[in-house]
Amino acid sequence: MNNLSKLTPQSLWENFAKICSIPHPSKHEDEIVAYLLEWAKKHNIKAVKDEVGNLILSKPATKGMENRKGVILQGHIDMVPQKNSDKEHDFTKDPIEPIIGDDGWVRANGTTLGADNGIGCAAAMSVLQATDIEHGPIEVLITIDEETGMTGAFGLKPGYLEGDILINLDSEDEGELYVGCAGGLDASVELGYKEEKTPADTKAFKISITGLKGGHSGMDIDTGRANANKVMIRLLRKSIKDFGLRLSSIEGGSLRNAIPREAFATVVVPNQYVEKFNTFVKDFFTVMKNEFSNVEPDIAVEITPIDLPSTVIDEKSGLNLVNVVYGLPNGVMRMSDSMENLVETSVNLAIVKTEKGVAEIKSLIRSSVDTAKEAVGEKMTAIIELAGGKITLSGAYPGWKPNMKSPILKTMQETYQKMYGRIPEIKAIHAGLECGLLGAVYPNWDMISFGPTIRNPHSPDERVHIESVEKFWDYLVETLKNIPVK
């Protein structure tokens, strides 16, 4: 592990290094929350844990700043646990291993880094412990389980926070201010299937789709990256039709908010078609390389001979599953009419898995228009009803509507221009920032989001730009100094 404390600002990077050292994937935040409570006690910072596990930490205004509006700095402490297939790592036990690259970025050794949103939380910690920053009343809201359902934001109750301005620290492009975000809806599908004895005179193979970039299912959905589940199903459907392939099992993707990077299937093929099947897979790989030549240069499609499984999925159920996954929507559904280059509505077909007679399919629908989000859910429902399956739409959370007359937006625009000689870009984000949920609980808040430059979050290629972290920190400090009076 590289020494992050040699980077600037030192306190922020030291706090981030400590966060990396404590396992904190979504739904496993107890250890990091306990550490933060002890850390607050050590620094004489008032700290409260609410009913769902969120932390609220507070610090009085510095001398002469008591009349400023109260600011809430907000981030989430959980991280997305993704690793390369050849990396041995238990996210519930092992620390993240940050690496300082010669290219000016910090990344992790074969796993997600957790800069989303560990950098934001580390910055908030550094503000709390600093003795040389001018600021009005400060509160820090650190939420849990943002990545797998926004449990912390959903569970926040009125009365815990007193501030007027929420500054969310969970955006991923330095020099940009975010004033809106998409809402989300989970779609969970169950398709039953029967198993039968593996036919005689067949050979078994493991099919592997690997090497894809994956990434954030909101931020990266418009990049045209391949979805491993969709690639696998395309291969399977053609092979069922042409070579009598029988499916024994399939498993692709692992998180609803990460574009699937890998998919695996166990199949059997009649002996008379084995040679043609092998040739087809080689040709299919070439086709995929050509189709995704610019965005997926490392895509790999491989088949490996294995021992025959004892059972396969019956023909009717197997084809039904393949057709459903082939037909379900994935990717960008519609671009925004009101903001250039903003995705309005999208779907990430995130997980496909067969186990004990049930095929599970999980997708995440995002949209900045609630009715459009609901319409996609109904479209998926229609498909699943035709296929004889069951679909559950749940976990809906609202988007955050932009307020272009926001006072904190004006303050931060002016501050950035004074510091760097230009006005920052104003954007909305096709991702589920917690601002929509939090603003529903505290409707008086004036809200904004910003952060350093992070690339490929939710994938093992995640990295954070070192220079942008320093600018992000300097900008945060100067913003706090310029918060208007009440």
Tell me, what's the pLDDT at 20? 98
Average pLDDT over residues 385-406: 93
User: Which of 368, 397, 426 lies at the terminal end of a domain, its last residue?
Assistant: 397
The 10s digit of each residue's pLDDT in 84-107 is 888 999 999 999 999 999 999 999
Contacts of residue 165, Cβ cutoff 8 Å, sequence gap at least 6: 69, 70, 71, 72, 408, 445, 446, 447, 448, 483
User: Which of 363, 397, 431 lies at the terminal end of a domain, its last residue?
Assistant: 397
Average pLDDT over residues 333-339: 90
Average pLDDT of the residues of the chain: 96
CATH code at position 332: 3.30.70.360
Average pLDDT over residues 394-413: 92
Is residue 486 one of the residues assigned to a domain?
no
Is residue 388 one of the residues assigned to a domain?
yes
Predicted confidence band of residue 143 (pLDDT cuts 50, 70, 90): very high
Tell me, what's the pLDDT at 383? 98
User: Which of 340, 375, 397 lies at the terminal end of a domain, its last residue?
Assistant: 397
* Sheet with 71-76, side-by-side order of all strands: 46-49, 55-59, 138-143, 71-76, 165-168, 446-449, 176-181, 425-429
304 touches 206 (CB < 8 A): yes
Which active-site residues does the annotation give?
78, 146
Tell me, what's the pLDDT at 144? 98
**Domain count along the chain:** 2
Is residue 392 one of the residues assigned to a domain?
yes
How many CB atoms lie under 10 A from the CB of residue 46? 13
Proportion of the chain above pLDDT 90, given as a percent? 92
Distance CA 127, CA 133 (A): 7
Do 213 and 348 share a domain, yes or no?
A: yes
Do 245 and 357 share a domain, yes or no?
A: yes
Do 393 and 411 share a domain, yes or no?
A: no
Residue 41 is part of which domain span?
A: 4-182+399-481
CATH code at position 466: 3.40.630.10
Do 97 and 207 share a domain, yes or no?
A: no
Proportion of the chain above pLDDT 70, given as a percent? 100
The 10s digit of each residue's pLDDT in 256-292 is 999 999 999 999 999 999 999 999 999 999 999 999 9
Q: Does residue 454 carry a pLDDT above 90?
A: yes
Average pLDDT over residues 332-361: 95
Distance CA 15, CA 121 (A): 8
Do 135 and 217 share a domain, yes or no?
A: no
Tell me, what's the pLDDT at 359? 98
Distance CA 294, CA 459 (A): 18
Q: Does residue 1 carry a pLDDT above 70?
A: no
How does DSSP assign 96-162, residue by residue?
P-EEE-TTSEEEESSB---HHHHHHHHHHHHHHH-SS---SSEEEEEES-TTTT-HHHHH--TTS--
Do 175 and 200 share a domain, yes or no?
A: no
Do 210 and 127 share a domain, yes or no?
A: no
Q: Does residue 255 carry a pLDDT above 70?
A: yes
